[in-house]
Structure 1
């Protein structure tokens, strides 16, 4: 009579084949959890800004109005620029904004220019 051990040796079945799959599955779940948390943590510190308007005061000044959304209680730094007809930068300013009461706030900034500007906008904002 053939025993189970002889059948396992003959047909190549082994009892420990499941262990690598279990370990691999646990590692995959851990990697997905860590990557998911990294994405969520990064999004929590993201600042977004949207231009709401600009006014060309004279050939040496542009006022830019924008609204930003940032984590509550965070200092925000924004790079604001003025552009000419050919989209060349004719003025820029880095502004530091203290923490606002809420997540969103509006801001108005005056940018000195070296040549007549046709537009003003927010280049980018980040958490300080």
Structure 2
């Protein structure tokens, strides 16, 4: 009984994840569908947490590969239960999302530059050194 998980629920090897059926490899019309193939179906999940790190919303419904911003836009458009931010308020989002009304992403680094995010230093009253230092 102790080894049941090892025997039945085991992670796939790298070779198993990248293997494509011979039937599909031989047929050129399927070639474009397997570009970047990892061997398993993927599903995009959008999860929203509150300040206590408790999930308040979860959107599961985009199969395949999609950008984070597309998943968010689809959830806003298609799910009437999506928690839209109140007027003149913003939700903090990951840097993978674009800034848009109601959603505020952190400043993204440009090539060769860095942005400091040191909340404890700003709490001690030290002012930012540049216009790109956030929080």
TM over 0.5: no
TM-score bracket for this pair, using the shorter chain length: under 0.3
Relative to the length of structure 2, the TM-score reads: 0.26
Higher relative contact order (CA 8 A, sep 6+): 1
Relative to the length of structure 1, the TM-score reads: 0.27
